A and B are shown apart, each in its own frame.
Chain A
Amino acid sequence: MGSTRSKWRANQLAFYDGTTQETVKPIAPIVFYDDFLGTTTNTDCWTVIDVGAGSTGQAVSVLTITQNVAGATDENGVYAKNDKAFNLSKGPIFECGMAVSVAPTLGTEIIFGLMKDSLTPGAGRILVADELLVYAMFGFYTTVGAGLIPVIRTKDAGATSAITSTAVTAFSLNAYHVFRIDCTTPADIKFYVDGVGVATGTTFNVSNAANVMVQPILTAQKVGANAGLGIALFDYVKVWQATR
């Protein structure tokens, strides 16, 4: 059991689990939190993506996103109804607990984080193809660590980061990790895995436009006729923002 600890991020207090580094209580004016309790995804907040033979299901406090073997476009997961409630210029922080249960193969990519785009089925990739316009996300795809080393990519209308490896040790299947994207400084947003800064040698800049509004997304997807696999497990999502 992790002991409760606290930290000031910028000028704001947050309580976190000293072992897992999960932020258990951010003291912020806007906080969104879904622990995926119950067996029905909260569609007041989420739109469930259900394209192709894959699936998105919720049970035992886990959102499971499955890509099937069928050789066609397959896209599953959840996004926040295209309701972009978080402002990149006001310090949103995205955090989730996530595990890879089946590593992505072939054209499958697992991505999660924040995006300005509205979702267009079949055109939501950022790794195998760069189909979104403004986003900051973690991802997994087969090119890096056989799908078990998380990568980062960000993009705004002014700068696109390369696909940047977090360079962490390849994850074990089904092992949960805490992922955090801290947009306190949009010109230099920070990424963390289990509380440790990753890809710290890269400056991820999403400050090209002021007051860009974003929504969270958690998805696994592939496009076209390939037999890519992949299963992602999401335990919780928190998004909070330093000011309204």
Chain B
Amino acid sequence: MGATKSKWRGDQLAFFDGATYETVEPFAPTLFYDDFLGTAINGDFWTTLDLNSATFTVPAASYWKSSIGAVAENSAAGLYGKNDKSWNIDKGLIFECRMAVHTAPTLLCEIGFGVMNDSYGAGSQSFLNADEVAKYAFFGFYATAGAGLTAVIRTDDAGVDSGIISTATSVVLNAWHVYRMDFTESSSVKFYIDGARVAASTTFKANTTANLMVQPWLCIYKASDVGAVTVGEMYVDYVRMWQATR
């Protein structure tokens, strides 16, 4: 058990777990938190993706699973925020989740999670193998980086595309990690894994458009031209989002 510690981010107080670096209590005016307790997804907030041969497994033991099907077709499984873009990246948004790779993605399968201004479009969510999302900030995993076990980052605000940037952090199958993206400065978005800043030498810009509104997105997916042997599975334990001002 980690000791409770506190930190001022900007001018705002937050308590965090000193071992895992999970932010357990941010003191922010707007806060969303889903620990996926119970056995159903909160449909007031999330849209569940369970497209074609992908599989979304409803929560059990406080986490959910989504996997890609071994069928040569477009498929996707995960959650997004109902295309209700409630979060403003110019107002100090922070996105955090705890996630594990259960089966490393192969071929053109991708795991992506973070926030996006786009509405969901079936078959057009690839941001690593193809840059199909217009405005977003995601962590991701795909076969090209560390055989699907090295986390990468990509941001695109329709003005600046970061390209695919490795975090240089490799994970072990089924190992949980805390991923955080901090938009306190939208001209230089910061990314953290288990409390340690990653890709620190890259400036991730998300300020081409002021007051860009975004929704959360956590998904595994592939396009229809992927071979039948493609696999990949992700687990998600919780999602927290908070914003420094309304």
Residue A10 is within 8 A (CB to CB) of chain B in the complex: no
Chain A residues in 8 Å Cβ range of B86: 37, 60-61
Residue B245, interface by CB 8 Å: yes
Q: Are A39 and B84 in contact (CB under 8 A)?
A: yes
A37 close to B45 (CB less than 8 A): yes
Give me 11 other A-B pairs in contact (C-beta within 8 A), A24-B29, A38-B45 excluded: A4-B11, A4-B13, A17-B245, A22-B246, A24-B28, A35-B32, A37-B32, A39-B44, A59-B84, A60-B84, A236-B29
A→B interface (CB under 8 Å): 1-4, 15, 17-20, 22, 24-25, 35, 37-42, 59-61, 97, 176, 235-236
Interface flag for B201 (CB, 8 Å):
no
Contacts of B42 in A (CB 8 A): 38
Per-position binary interface string of chain B over residues 21-51, scored 1 when its CB falls under 8 Å from any chain A CB and 0 otherwise: 0000101111110000000001111100000
Are B44 and A20 in contact, with the CB atoms below 8 A?
no
CA distance A162 to B30 in the complex (A): 35
The verdict on A1 contacting B213 (CB below 8 Å), with A20-B29, A42-B44 known, is no
B245 touches A20 (CB 8 A): yes
Residues 75-90 of chain B: 1 if any A CB is under 8 Å from the residue's CB, otherwise 0? 0000001101110000
Q: Is the CB of A38 within 8 A of B85?
A: no
> Taking the complex as formed, is B140 at the interface, i.e. its CB lies under 8 A from any CB of chain A?
no
Chain B residues in 8 Å Cβ range of A1? 10-12, 91-92, 244-245
A176 near B246 with CB under 8 A, answer: yes
CB distance from B171 to the nearest CB of A (A): 30
- The B contact surface, by secondary structure, is loop
Known: A25-B25, A176-B246, A235-B246. A35 touches B84 (CB 8 A): no
In the complex the two chains form, is B30's CB within 8 Å of A38's CB?
A: no
- The residues in B between 51 and 99 inclusive whose CB is less than 8 angstroms from any CB of A are 81-82, 84-86, 91-92
- Taken together as a complex, chains A and B put the C-alpha atoms of A241 and B71 apart, in Å, by 55
Least distance between B8 CB and chain A CB atoms (Å): 8
Interface residues of B in 226-246 (CB under 8 A from A): 244-246
CA distance A162 to B185 in the complex (A): 48
| CB-defined contacts of A15 to chain B, threshold 8 Å | 13, 27
Closest chain-B Cβ to A222's Cβ sits at a distance in Å of 29
CB pair B29–A17 under 8 Å, yes or no, is: yes
Which residues of A are found within 8 Å of B28, using beta-carbon distances? Answer: 24
Q: Given A15-B27, A24-B27, A38-B82, are A60 and B213 also a contact pair (CB < 8 Å)? A: yes
**Cα A24 to Cα B91 with chains together (Å):** 16
6 contacts between A and B (CB under 8 A): A1-B10, A25-B27, A37-B44, A38-B44, A39-B84, A60-B85
Task: Kindly list chain B residues whose C-beta atoms are within 8 Å of the C-beta of A235.
Answer: 246
Given contacts A15-B27, A24-B27, contact A4 B84 (CB under 8 A): no
Name the B residues within 8 Å of A24 (CB-CB).
Answer: 27-29
* A225 CA / B112 CA spacing, docked (Å): 54
Enumerate the 8 nearest inter-chain pairs by beta-carbon distance, A residue then B residue, closest first.
Answer: A3-B11, A38-B45, A4-B13, A61-B86, A38-B44, A40-B44, A1-B244, A4-B27
A2 near B11 (CB under 8 angstroms)? Answer: yes
Contacts of A97 in B (CB 8 A): 246
Could you tell me the distance between the alpha carbons of A1 and B242 in the complex, rounded to whole angstroms? 13
- CB-nearest residue of chain A to B45: A38
Residues in B neighbouring A60, C-beta threshold 8 A: 84-86, 213
Q: Once the chains are docked, how many angstroms separate the CA of A176 from the CA of B246?
A: 10
A194, chain B: closest CB distance, angstroms: 13
Given contacts A1-B12, A3-B12, A60-B84, contact A35 B30 (CB under 8 A): yes
